């Protein structure tokens, strides 16, 4: 019984994506270079193509453009997390649905469950838990660029500006 508690019940999205890419690379590599091998099963003597984690085709972009300005892309910080939860208000679900396009951990049932589970705690806690799920599942790929894009898609330009430091702190007090 204790053994089950130590095992993860799911892989993080970035790990699943990397595994899928590695598998695709192996299948393509094997079918082209080793017609006698079973597709997808590497032979011990054949070199395999590097996985994305080694070469970085999945690595996040370094900069992004918002309102004509270039910003450094970075992973979300605890400060970003707090500001988002405090300022997103009722639109946290819409932002979650925008983020779900590239994040398996934020499917509709998850978003609905967060709404129900944290209903008594209010909008702040619901939004906080949403972004927490995103950060936990995406790891280093939970970037400011992805969050800003989701905010922009939902008309929350002032919140995006706040996260990027374009507003004075008077606006969020």
pLDDT digits (tens, 9 = 90+) for 48-92: 434 343 344 445 678 999 989 999 999 999 999 999 999 999 999
pLDDT at 53: 39
The CATH number that applies at residue 117 is: 1.10.533.10
pLDDT at 57: 43
Band of the pLDDT at 8, cuts 50, 70, 90? Answer: low
DSSP string, 15-80: HHHHHHHHHHHHHHHHHHH-TTSPTT---TTSPPPPPHHHH-TTSPPSEEEETTEEEE--BPPHHH
Has residue 107 been placed in a domain? yes
Has residue 22 been placed in a domain? no
Has residue 14 been placed in a domain? no
Has residue 159 been placed in a domain? yes
**Mind listing the pLDDT tens digit for each residue in 81-98?**
999 999 999 999 999 999
Question: How many domains is the chain partitioned into structurally?
Answer: 1
Band of the pLDDT at 130, cuts 50, 70, 90? Answer: very high
Has residue 154 been placed in a domain? yes
pLDDT at 26 over 80: no
Has residue 81 been placed in a domain? yes
Boundaries of domain holding 76? 63-164
């Amino acid at each position: 019984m204790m053994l089950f508690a130590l095992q993860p019940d799911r892989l993080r999205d970035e790990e699943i994506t990397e595994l899928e890419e590695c598998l695709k690379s192996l299948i393509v590599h094997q079918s082209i270079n080793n017609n006698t091998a079973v597709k997808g099963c590497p032979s011990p003597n054949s070199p395999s193509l590097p996985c994305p984690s080694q070469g970085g085709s999945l690595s996040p972009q370094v900069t992004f453009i918002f309102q004509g300005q270039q910003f450094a892309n970075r992973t979300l910080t605890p400060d970003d997390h707090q500001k988002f939860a405090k300022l997103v208000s009722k639109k946290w679900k819409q932002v979650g649905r925008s983020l779900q396009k590239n994040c398996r951990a934020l499917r509709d049932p998850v978003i609905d469950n967060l709404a129900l589970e944290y209903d008594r705690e209010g909008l702040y806690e619901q939004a906080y838990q949403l972004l927490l799920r995103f950060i936990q599942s995406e790891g280093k790929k939970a970037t400011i660029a992805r969050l800003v894009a989701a905010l922009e898609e939902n008309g929350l330009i002032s919140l995006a500006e706040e996260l990027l430091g374009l507003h004075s702190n008077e606006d969020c007090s």
